[in-house]
Amino acid sequence: MIVLTKRQARQFMLLKHGLLGTHRFTGKQGALDFIRQAGCIQFDPIDICGKNPEITLQSRVKNFAKGMLRELLYEDRALFDYPDKQLSIIPIEYWMNFERLRAEARVMLKRHPEIEEHIEIVRKYIEANGAVNSDDFTLEGKTSWWSAINWSSGGKLSRSVLEQMYSSGDLIIHHKKGARRYYDLAEKHIPSDILHAPDPLPDDFDYVKWLVLRRIGAVGLLWNRSSGAFINIWYLTSDIRKKVFDTLISEEEVITISVEGLKDKAYCRKEDIALIEEVLEEPQPDTTRCELIAPLDPIMWDRKLIKAIFDYEYTWEIYTPAIKRRYGAYVLPLLSGDRFIGRVEAICKRESTTLEVKNIWYEDDVKRTKKLDSSIDDCIKRFALFNNCSTVQRN
């Protein structure tokens, strides 16, 4: 067992994420490298000042531009959209690991003959016309249907058929226009050796173990308790979770970490031991690098853990009634060095190419200095550039 102070635990997590000190990730390749390290990044279509995966990458990847993620997804096909930690962006090399979800979707299809009878019609339409949206063609009839990958559908039959074919792996998202998805045949864009590879995890327990290990790697440290980081892992009861952790420990896939002040042990992947040793040998210098962190960033997946290690409490208030919000609807955590020092509400006004900073709320114990203010200003200017804004408006 390795024993860490809270500060050492913070520094390890931030080093792993490329959020402390000099940048570990640069440019489009850096964006791909980080997503491969995390296993997936969570997608959300809301775009107040960039979409969640874009904000996630801009905080870590030097010189990141939104077009890089679009190229990796829809030109290079190095990534694909599919549910993992909710709807996510996943490296293409993990396509075969999600075969059990696609197989479940094919089983569910048998319960909906009104969808099944239109599959071949839609396939031929796409073969003739290329990538389509559900508004591009009309199918007579309606359906009430639940997808195997956790969203509901109903009403418009063309949409239900497309989403079913996407759930089953017959289609992929070819591109998006805003939040609108355009689908094309998977076989046109995914290499055959990947598309038709057998499921490497045919056993349910091995599948759950693989997912848990990925989530530990995505966050950096995780504990064996109920966690937002484990959302959407099927079959993960508390008993199975205990068995998974016991197995990962016995197989030496994870290292046990004791963090001062935490009752529960935490765990990191064995491959991260070098970063742990780096922190233990010499505390990382505080360069006062500031970054704005996405609401659904992997490092924020377990907010109780963030509260325990960083002494920082964060709630995404997008779905909180306005009258009950403490801050704002789309507020981003503000990181400085190895601490979360506050939160920022920023809105991108695209018509005037202005980033409006509506408010910055600082934690009670933050001491404002010229150096800190300068670092925050630099962070906001970079964030404006990331959003293609030429000016910053501070309220």
| pLDDT classification of 51: cutoffs 50, 70, 90 | very high
> Do 111 and 68 fall into the same domain?
no
How large a percentage of the chain has pLDDT more than 70? Answer: 96
Residue 219 lies in domain: 2-77+203-394
> Do 328 and 213 fall into the same domain?
yes
pLDDT recorded at residue 111:
84
- Would you say residue 352 lies in a domain? yes
Most confident among 57-61, 156-160, 324-328 (mean pLDDT): 57-61
Question: Which of 166, 189, 212 is where one domain is finished?
Answer: 189
Give 372-386 pLDDT, tens digit per residue: 999 999 999 999 999
Kindly state the average pLDDT of the residues 198-219: 96
Question: Which of 131, 155, 189 is where one domain is finished?
Answer: 189
- Would you say residue 275 lies in a domain? yes
| Cα–Cα distance measured from residue 380 to residue 395, given in angstroms and rounded to the nearest whole number | 13
> Do 71 and 105 fall into the same domain?
no
> Do 272 and 306 fall into the same domain?
yes
Examine the pLDDT at 336 and tell me if it is beyond 90: yes
- Among residues 104, 111, 81, 103, the alpha carbon closest in space to that of 94 is found at 81
Neighbours of 112 (CB within 10 A): 16
- Would you say residue 194 lies in a domain? no
> Do 165 and 223 fall into the same domain?
no
Examine the pLDDT at 348 and tell me if it is beyond 60: yes
Examine the pLDDT at 148 and tell me if it is beyond 70: no
> Do 71 and 97 fall into the same domain?
no
> Do 170 and 208 fall into the same domain?
no
pLDDT recorded at residue 24:
94
Give 220-230 pLDDT, tens digit per residue: 999 999 999 99
> Do 281 and 134 fall into the same domain?
no
pLDDT recorded at residue 171:
97
Question: Which of 163, 189, 215 is where one domain is finished?
Answer: 189
Enumerate residues 6+ apart whose C-beta is below 8 A from 285: 21
- Would you say residue 196 lies in a domain? no
- Would you say residue 197 lies in a domain? no
Amino acid in position 315 = T
Q: Where is average pLDDT lowest: 141-150, 230-239, 305-314, 333-342? A: 141-150
How large a percentage of the chain has pLDDT more than 90? Answer: 86
**Mean pLDDT over all residues of the chain?**
93
| pLDDT classification of 146: cutoffs 50, 70, 90 | low
> Do 27 and 120 fall into the same domain?
no
- Would you say residue 195 lies in a domain? no
> Do 185 and 207 fall into the same domain?
no
Q: Higher pLDDT residue, 179 or 166?
A: 166
- Would you say residue 83 lies in a domain? no
| Cα–Cα distance measured from residue 238 to residue 212, given in angstroms and rounded to the nearest whole number | 13
| pLDDT classification of 235: cutoffs 50, 70, 90 | confident
Give 74-101 pLDDT, tens digit per residue: 999 999 999 999 999 999 999 999 999 9
| Cα–Cα distance measured from residue 108 to residue 151, given in angstroms and rounded to the nearest whole number | 13
> Do 130 and 230 fall into the same domain?
no
Examine the pLDDT at 150 and tell me if it is beyond 60: no
- Would you say residue 88 lies in a domain? no
What Å distances lie between residue 195 and 4, 182, 198, 321, 341, CA to CA? Answer: 43, 19, 9, 44, 45
> Do 261 and 368 fall into the same domain?
yes
Give 359-369 pLDDT, tens digit per residue: 999 999 999 99
Question: What is the total count of domains within the chain?
Answer: 2
The three-state DSSP-derived secondary structure of the chain is CEEECHHHHHHHHHHHHCCCCCCCEEHHHHHHHHHHHHCCEECCCCCCCCCHHHHHHHCCEECCCHHHHHHHHHCCCCEEEEEECEEEEEEHHHHHHHHHHHHHHHHHHCCCHHHHCCHHHHHHHHHHHCCECCCCCCCCCEEEEECCCCCEEEEEHHHHHHHHHHHHCCEEEEEEECCEEEEEEHHHCCCHHHHCCCCCCCCHHHHHHHHHHHHHHHHCCEECCCCHHHCCCCCCCHHHHHHHHHHHHHCCCEEEEEECCCCCCEEEEHHHHHHHHHHHHCCCCCCCCEEECCCCCHHHCCHHHHHHHHCCCCCCCCCCCHHHCCCCCCEEEEEECCEEEEEEEEEEECCCCEEEEEEEEECCCCCCCHHHHHHHHHHHHHHHHHCCCCEEEEC
Give 254-269 pLDDT, tens digit per residue: 999 999 999 999 999 9
